[in-house]
Amino acid sequence: MNSSNQRNSCRLALVLCAVCLAACGDGKPKSSSNSIAAAFENQVDPRANAKQADADMRKLKEKVEAEAEAAVLAEIEKITQPASDAPTDIKLACEGMRTAHDGFIQRRLANNKSELDRWNVMKEVDLGKAVEACIADHQPKVAACQQNALTSASREIGRDRVETLQSTCVRKYGQPLAAAPGKPAKTG
């Protein structure tokens, strides 16, 4: 190598060293190079983030559903009581429960004509059985509770909760079947 080429090579090496020193610094981390390095060091798996987000969303949904269910159950507990002017005659109480049950279903199906038509065709059978059972149980306080609950229920209490409303009234105000007036005690 001739001296001119050696000098050019040395100059080139010095320029490269200067560029490297400028880029790398003096051993002290620079903020921009530090943040870039940190980004590479802290790079996370996007699949893991997606799984965690999915799990968090599922937990949030379960929490919201549990809170909504708790609110519905609290309302059911609150409205399942007989009205103060409830009839004591079993036939009147059961007829009031029948009317309230029909109104409850009518309100829930108001926006669904086909289901409402189906209910109106079949309701005499369903409500007739409910009234027969009500009269046979001979518990006017339970029937009055059911009437009040079916009349007072908010829209959050859906059609699928009729049995819950009715059974809550039985639990709260019903007498055991063996002790119900007008019924012979059951023997084992």
Answer yes or no: are the C-beta atoms of 147 and 95 closer than 8 Å.
no
Predicted pLDDT at 74:
92
pLDDT digits (tens, 9 = 90+) for 120-169: 999 999 999 999 999 998 899 999 999 999 999 998 899 899 999 999 99
Using CA atoms, how far apart are residues 180 and 138, in angstroms rounded to an integer?
Answer: 7
Note if the pTM is more than 0.85: no
Tell me the average pLDDT of the chain. Answer: 80
pLDDT of the chain, 188 residues: tens digit per residue: 555 556 555 555 555 555 555 555 555 555 555 666 666 666 667 777 788 888 889 999 999 999 999 999 999 999 999 988 888 899 999 999 999 999 999 999 999 999 999 999 999 999 999 999 999 988 999 999 999 999 999 988 998 999 999 999 999 998 865 544 555 544 43
Answer yes or no: are the C-beta atoms of 147 and 83 closer than 8 Å.
yes
Using CA atoms, how far apart are residues 165 and 180, in angstroms rounded to an integer?
Answer: 20
Q: Which amino acid is at 126?
A: D
Handedness of CA 86, 92, 97, 100 (dihedral sign): negative
